[in-house]
Amino acid sequence: MALRSLAPLAAFFLFACASAPDWKAHQDAGTAAYQRGDYRSAAARFEAALNEAQALRGNDLRLGLTQQWLGYVYQTQGRYADAEPMYRRSLAIYEKVLGPEHLDVADSLNNLAVLYRAQGRGTDAEPLYRRALAIREKVQGPEHRDVATSLNNLAELHDSQGHYADAEPLYRRSLAIREKILGPEHLEVAASLNNLAALYQAQGRYAVAEPLYRRSLAIYEKALGPEHPDVAASLNNLAVLYRAQGRNNDAEPLLRRALAIREKILGPTPPK
Contact, 27 vs 49, CB < 8 A?
Answer: yes
Number of neighbouring beta carbons within 10 Å of residue 138: 13
| Mean per-residue pLDDT over the chain, rounded | 92
Contact, 59 vs 97, CB < 8 A?
Answer: yes
Confidence class for position 17, pLDDT limits 50, 70, 90: very low
Mean pLDDT of 139-154: 97
Q: What is the pLDDT of residue 60?
A: 87
Mean pLDDT of 69-86: 97
Confidence class for position 267, pLDDT limits 50, 70, 90: confident
- Tell me whether residue 42 is exposed, middle or buried, using C-beta atoms within 10 angstroms of its C-beta: 0 to 12, 13 to 18, 19 or more: buried
Least confident of 23-27, 46-50, 258-262, 267-271: 267-271
Q: What is the pLDDT of residue 119?
A: 96
Question: For the whole prediction, is pTM greater than 0.95?
Answer: no
User: Does the pLDDT at position 242 exceed 50?
Assistant: yes
User: Does the pLDDT at position 81 exceed 90?
Assistant: yes
Q: What is the pLDDT of residue 9?
A: 47
Q: What is the pLDDT of residue 5?
A: 41
Closest CA to 15 of 64, 58, 50: 64
Rounded Cα distance, 222 and 216, in Å: 10
Instruction: Give CA 110 to chain center in angstroms.
Output: 9
User: Does the pLDDT at position 15 exceed 60?
Assistant: no
Q: What is the pLDDT of residue 160?
A: 96
Half-sphere exposure of 241 (CA within 13 A, CB side): 26
User: Does the pLDDT at position 232 exceed 50?
Assistant: yes
